[in-house]
Structures are given as structure tokens and as C-alpha cells.
Amino acid sequence: MAQQHLIVIGGGITGVTSAYSLAREGHRVTLIEKHRYAGMETSHANGGQLSASNAEVWTHPSTLIKGIKWMLKADAPLLVNPKPSWHKLSWFAEFMTNIPKYRDNTVATARLAVAAREHLFGWAEQEGIDFDLKQQGILHIYRDKAGFDHAGKVSELLAEGGLPRRAVTPTEMRAIEPTLKGQYYGGYFTESDSTGDIHKFTHGLSLACERLGVTLRTGHEVARVKSDGQTAHVTLSNGEVLSADAVVVCAGVHSRALGAQLGDRLNVYPVKGYSITVMLNDEQSQAAAPQVSLLDDETKLVTSRLGDDRFRVAGTAEFNGFNLDIRADRIRPLVNWVNECFPGVSTRRVEPWAGLRPMMPSMLPRVGAGKKANVFYNTGHGHLGWTLSAITAHQLARHVAQWQAQQRNTRLVMPAPAV
């Protein structure tokens, strides 16, 4: 049976990895991306962590308590706009129903994150992608006993998911990352985690997709999508209609609207995160910035050292709908954090950014088939899009292979025409 033609909607990290994985299986793939280049939205300037150690899902009672406590605090790590909307209310209602699944979903996410590494690093090596990869681990830092003790319980779940990490004392923390200033109760260190530039990786893999024969239709926005179960039709904003055997929705926060057009409900909510890229323009700043990636649990900030001259700090969560405004009161805490923890780093040149994480209420991505036989999804990865992207792309290819096998079997059992 001939390989299928699939249209992949969305050129972020999940769309590009999906297209790459499908092309490696021999499928004909068309990738549609509204920007001129791949990885220009949520995959552009995130925290840069490939962090299985950050697999803990947010469906914990403490998340709701913090959200209520911080609701009127403009610079809070977690900020919820109190203005109601049906989308927001339905999402939080489903979020609460997933609280009993906190343990199982954390373990499942850790397993996915560990499994993703082999694929992602293998692809990068095979395709010669330079993305400022730094394999020096991730250090989680805690300022009080309560946070440290909770991390100990999380470590047990991560270990069940196949990820070892070890507790470290303040003295050991300074040995792991000598540039870190401040007083800490303790930390947890995951040697096997790493960091890099997600935009460089996504762009590099998009070029690899083209070498494998993927057609990149950049600069085109999807206006409509429909399927009759046999053929998928995608209408671009310029009126052009593309047809294919199947469609794969990898459109991040826009997946909900596209899924509705295809008869599927995907309760993806756009959770805004911010980042700053500190330009290390002098030798003092380069020496004073950390090499090891950090996660500060109290402030919900993560860091990555990108090459010699860039330091990325990212985090926070803002439930404020489809809003990409870069607010000064949300950026200021990130700059202040750098000034306090790494006072030798100049923050004179800082590039702010904001992106919308596609969050499912369960905190698990939606990967697999829709109601129509030739509709597939790979979306809703939340704060672990890059970390999980390679394994979910691999899972997607398996779902497509199963669909293809079902088509083959259906044709084999069809009765011969009467003569």
C-alpha cells in the first residue's frame, strides 16, 4: 500500500518533530506554518530546558491555593485574571477533576520525558543540528524546608518514572554551580537533564524535514479544516485549498479551535509564560553567569546558558486568554532575580519575550486519532513541549501506522464486485 500524504498544521516544535518523524517513515508530508520560519511562537524563546526533572504535573491542591492567594499580586509567579470566561471556567473545572490523578500523571510524564531523550539527541546528531546543547544537568533550588520536603516526595515519583535525581546540601549546590548567590535550604540535582536553544533546534530540524522531502508552506495561516474520514481539506487564508489523505493538528493553543472544526473537543488553554535573554556582552558577565541550568521552585523560574554570550531566564504562568502583551510588571521579577542571584551579571541588555503554552487540564499532551479516522493530534504539551516532543512525534507515527494498517485490512476484506 502506498504511503499516505499528510498535512501537518503548525510549525512549532511539535509540528516539526511530527513532520520529521512521519517523513522518516516514508510518508509524503506538507507542513503549514503561518510565520516565515518554523519555531517563531511558543517554540521561540522558552526556558531552554530538556527537563525530565520538571515532569511534576500542576494538578496538585497547592496550585489552586497559590492561584487564589496570588490573584491580586501583579508580579506573582502564578497569575489568574479573575475575569470569567467559559473556556477558563471549564478548563479549571477539568483541572480539578484531574487532581486525584496527580501521582499517576506525574509518573507517566516522567516516563515520556526519559524516553524522548534518545530520539531527540539521535535526530540532532544525525542531522548535524547545533542548538547550544549543554549536558550539565539541572539543579532545583529550595529556600525553605517545606519546598525541599515536597521535592523529596516528587523525587520518589520521578524515580518510579525512571528518572534518578539526588538531594544536595547548600555546600554541594555551590560546588555544582559556584556562581549562584544567596541562602538555600538545599536542592535536588539531575545530572541527566540538559539545556539548549529550542528555536535553533526547531529551525534546524525544519531544514532536515525539507531534505527528507517535506513541503514547507510557511507564511500561510489555516482558515478552515475539514475531513470526511477519507480525505482532509485545509483552506489557507489566501483561499487556496490543500487536500490530503490525513491531517495532523499540532497548532499549540490554536488546536482547540481547529479540533472543533473537525468535531473533536480539545480543552487546550493558553497559559502565558515570560522569558528574558540576558546578553553577556562582557567577560565579567560571562564569568558570573551560571553554566548549570537552574529551577527555582519558589519563584517558578528556570535558566539556561546558551553559548558563551546568552543567559535565558524564563517562567511564571499567567491565565489571561489569548494575550501576548509583554508586561513590565511581569518582566521585572525576572530581571530582579538575576540581579539577586547573579549580581556579577550585567542586565543592561535584556530581551523580553512572552509565549502561550498549550495546556490540557490533565497536563498530559493529546496524541492520537480524532473522531474521524484520518484526523490526528499531537498537541497540548504545556510547559514540557520541547522535553516531550520527540517521543510524542514517535507515538504519532505509530498511530498513523495503525490507521494505515486498518485501511489495508479494510481493502483486503472488501467483497469482489459482481460480474
Cα separation values, 181 from 117, 167, 294, 310, Å: 31, 19, 12, 19
CB contact at 8 A, 393 and 21: yes
| Helix intervals (H) in 177-296 | 198-211, 255-261, 283-288
Instruction: Give the pLDDT confidence score for residue 311 in this predicted structure.
Output: 98
Residue 338: strand, helix, or coil: helix
Q: What are phi and psi of 367, to 5 degrees?
A: -130, 125
Coil, strand or helix at 219: coil
Can you read off the three cell numbers belonging to residue 323? Answer: 494575550
Backbone dihedral region for residue 346 (phi beyond 0: left; psi -120 to 50: alpha; all else: beta):
beta
Identify the pLDDT of residue 419. 43
Could you state, in chain order, the average pLDDT of each consecutive group of 10 residues for the chain (419 residues)?
Answer: 86 98 97 97 96 96 82 82 92 96 98 97 98 97 96 98 97 98 97 98 98 97 96 97 98 98 98 98 98 95 98 95 94 97 98 98 97 97 97 98 87 54
For residues 6 and 27, the answer to whether their CB atoms sit within 8 Å is yes
Q: Which pLDDT belongs to residue 370?
A: 97
Q: List the grid coordinates of 72.
A: 491580586
161: cell is: 518514572
Q: Which residues contact 83 (CB under 8 A, 6 or more apart)?
A: none
